C-alpha cells in the first residue's frame, strides 16, 4: 500500500509536512483500484473526493447532447484527477472522468483536505501548490486552443504528455486537440520525420 503513496509522500516532504500530519492523511484516505473503462466521476455527479493517480491513466471529457465526446485533458500517473470546481463548490461535475487503463488512485475525501488545511499551514501550502499546477495547465490549454494551429496543438500535446501518443487511440488525441480523426491522420502523414 505504501508504494502507491510514494509520489504524494515525496511532494508532502517537499512541502515540509510533518510525519504526524502525513500519517493522519494516510489513515483518512484509501487506495482504490479502478479497472479500465470505469467511470470515476460522472457528469452530473456531486464530487466529494479528490484523486491522485498512482498508476494508470484517465481522460476527462464532455459529452454533447448528440453523444459526441470532447476530451479536455488526461491524467497519467503522478497527477491529480478530479473535477476541482465541482468539488470546491459542492456542485455536480460538468464532465466525466474515465479510466483508460487499469489504474490505482489515492481517494482523498474533500472534508479531510479541508480539515488538514484548517489545522496546518504546510497542508494549506501543499494544496495551494497543487491547485496552482492545475490552474496553469488549464490556462495553457485555453491558450493552445485559441492561438495554435492543429499541428502546434499536437506538438504541445506531445510535450505536455510524453509517451501518451503510444498509450491512447488517435481518435482520443484528435478529440483533445480539436480536430477530426481524419484530419489528425492527414496531419501525421504530412508531418516531417
The residue behind cell 492527414 is 186
Per-residue pLDDT tens for 129-168? 888 988 998 899 999 999 999 999 999 999 999 999 999 9
Report the pLDDT averaged over residues 107-133: 91
Report the pLDDT averaged over residues 104-116: 95
Report the pLDDT averaged over residues 115-120: 91
Burial (CB count <10 Å: 0-12, 13-18, 19+), residue 72? middle
Look at residue 9 and tell me whether its pLDDT is greater than 60. Answer: yes
User: Taking the model in full, what pTM does it have?
Assistant: 0.92
SS3 32: strand
Q: How far apart are CA 25 and CA 39, in angstroms?
A: 25
Q: Is residue 127 within 8 Å of 68, Cβ to Cβ?
A: no
Per-residue pLDDT tens for 39-84? 999 999 999 999 999 999 999 999 999 999 999 999 999 999 999 9
Lowest model confidence (mean pLDDT) among 18-22, 39-43, 95-99:
18-22
Report the pLDDT averaged over residues 2-18: 90
- Contacts with 43 (C-beta within 8 Å, 6 or more apart), sequence order: 62, 63, 92, 93, 94, 95, 96
Amino acid at each position: 500500500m505504501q508504494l502507491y503513496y510514494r509520489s504524494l509522500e515525496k511532494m508532502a516532504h517537499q512541502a515540509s509536512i510533518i510525519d504526524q500530519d502525513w500519517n493522519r492523511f494516510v489513515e483518512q484516505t484509501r487506495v482504490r483500484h479502478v479497472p479500465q473503462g470505469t467511470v470515476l466521476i460522472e457528469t452530473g455527479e456531486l464530487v466529494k473526493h479528490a484523486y491522485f493517480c498512482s498508476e494508470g491513466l484517465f481522460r476527462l471529457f464532455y459529452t454533447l447532447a448528440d453523444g459526441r465526446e470532447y476530451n479536455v485533458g488526461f491524467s497519467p500517473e503522478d497527477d491529480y484527477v478530479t473535477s476541482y470546481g465541482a468539488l470546491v463548490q459542492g456542485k455536480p461535475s460538468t464532465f466525466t472522468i474515465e479510466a483508460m487503463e487499469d489504474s490505482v488512485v489515492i481517494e482523498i475525501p474533500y472534508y479531510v483536505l479541508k480539515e488538514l488545511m484548517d489545522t496546518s499551514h504546510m497542508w494549506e501550502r501543499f494544496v495551494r501548490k497543487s491547485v496552482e499546477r492545475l490552474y496553469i495547465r488549464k490556462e495553457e490549454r485555453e491558450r493552445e486552443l485559441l492561438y495554435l494551429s492543429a499541428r502546434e496543438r499536437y506538438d504541445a500535446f506531445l510535450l505536455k504528455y510524453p509517451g501518451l501518443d503510444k498509450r491512447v487511440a488517435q481518435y482520443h488525441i484528435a478529440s483533445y486537440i480539436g480536430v477530426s480523426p481524419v484530419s489528425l491522420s492527414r496531419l501525421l502523414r504530412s508531418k516531417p520525420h
